[in-house]
């Protein structure tokens, strides 16, 4: 695995890989088995795999966890070495530098619901960095996890709107044995909040089953909203879109998201 720290090193790598098919896996590091499954997917479609690790300041709001977002590049590099990864791109762009690149707006219809209501500007920051990395790397494929399903939809729309010649592939959510969706932010959970977090998967599974059998979606959702709130969750949303049930909830100050078909 070659590690590319800046644009000059990426340019040299591009000369090496330009004849090959390339699958790109963008990440913010703090890698876990979910990311590794995206890398497997990438290897199944292309000759070369490029992973990026970059905690993108543009997608964090002023009161969010940008400065304390988990960062451990040595651990991440070791994990990546357990897979076939041809290149790791880990630049250190500053926010000021990123404000000078082409700023992209996320499709408002997709970006103003769910997480977009609670994280103003978040998806603009995501599409801006993803488009920039697409321009720099020029992949044939890019892999995104369904854990961030809204992000996936927004990136698909961006690729469509900008007529980019990149195939976006979705990879399913990986879960802990308890059902908790794998996330870099799970490291913020202590033992008791982790136990409580397991209720998310249990309840989403029940909601999904009930929606499939009864079809009175709003009534079902309202009763589970109450259930979550009564067991101590601060709920940002519990909503149904794209034939899936979506949740964002805070447990002991840690914000978790999840979704599943329903
Ligand atoms: O899903 C993420 O980790 C980030 O939003 C992404 C796609 C790497 C852009 O910073």
Q: Provide the domain count of the chain.
A: 2
> Ligand 1 center to residue 55 CA distance, Å?
8
What does residue 163 show for φ and ψ, rounded to 5 degrees? 50, 45
pTM greater than 0.85: yes
User: What residue numbers bound the domain in which 243 lies?
Assistant: 184-256
Cβ(26) – ligand 1 distance below 6 Å:
yes
Closest ligand 1 atom to 133 CA = 9
Is residue 215 predicted with pLDDT exceeding 80? Answer: no
Predicted confidence at residue 120, as pLDDT, reads 96
Residue nearest to atom 5 of ligand 1 (CA): 126
Instruction: Give the pLDDT band (50/70/90) at residue 1.
Output: very high
Determine whether 32 is an active site residue: no
Mean pLDDT, to the nearest integer, of 17-37? 98
Q: Please say whether the dihedral angle defined by the alpha carbons of residues 102, 107, 112 and 118, taken in this order, is positive or negative.
A: negative
CATH number at residue 246: 3.30.1300.10
Work out the angle between the directed axes of helices 33-45 and 73-81 (0-180°, nearest 10): 40
The two tokens of residue 250 are 């805070």
Is 131 part of a structural domain of the chain? yes
DSSP 32: -
Residue carrying the six token digits 């090496």? 16
Residue carrying the six token digits 């997608």? 59
Predicted confidence at residue 214, as pLDDT, reads 83
Average pLDDT, the chain: 97
The C-alpha atoms of residue 88 and residue 86 are separated, in whole angstroms, by 7
Of 136, 171, 206, at which residue does a domain stop? 171
The C-alpha atoms of residue 46 and residue 162 are separated, in whole angstroms, by 23
């Amino acid at each position: 695995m070659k590690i590319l720290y800046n644009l000059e090193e990426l340019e040299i790598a591009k000369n090496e890989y330009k004849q090959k098919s390339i699958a790109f896996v963008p990440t913010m590091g703090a890698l876990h088995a979910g990311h590794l499954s995206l890398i497997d997917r990438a290897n199944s479609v292309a000759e070369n795999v490029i992973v990026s690790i970059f905690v993108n300041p543009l997608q964090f709001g002023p009161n969010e966890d940008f400065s304390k977002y988990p960062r451990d590049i040595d651990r991440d590099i070791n994990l990546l070495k357990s897979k076939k990864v041809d290149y790791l791109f880990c630049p250190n762009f500053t926010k000021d530098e990123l404000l000078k690149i082409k700023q992209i707006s996320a499709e408002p219809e997709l970006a103003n619901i769910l997480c977009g209501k609670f994280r103003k500007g978040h998806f603009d920051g995501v599409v801006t960095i993803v488009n920039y990395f697409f321009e720099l790397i020029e992949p044939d494929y890019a892999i995104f996890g369904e854990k961030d399903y809204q992000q996936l939809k927004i990136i698909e729309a961006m690729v469509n709107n900008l007529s980019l010649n990149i195939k976006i592939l979705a990879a399913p959510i990986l879960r802990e044995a308890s059902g908790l969706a794998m996330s870099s932010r799970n490291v913020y959970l202590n033992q008791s909040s982790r136990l409580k977090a397991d209720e998310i998967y249990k309840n989403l599974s029940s909601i999904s089953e009930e929606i499939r059998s009864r079809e009175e979606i709003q009534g079902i959702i309202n009763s589970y909203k109450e259930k979550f709130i009564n067991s101590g969750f601060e709920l940002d949303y519990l909503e149904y879109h794209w034939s899936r049930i979506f949740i964002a909830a805070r447990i002991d100050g840690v914000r978790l998201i999840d979704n599943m078909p329903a």
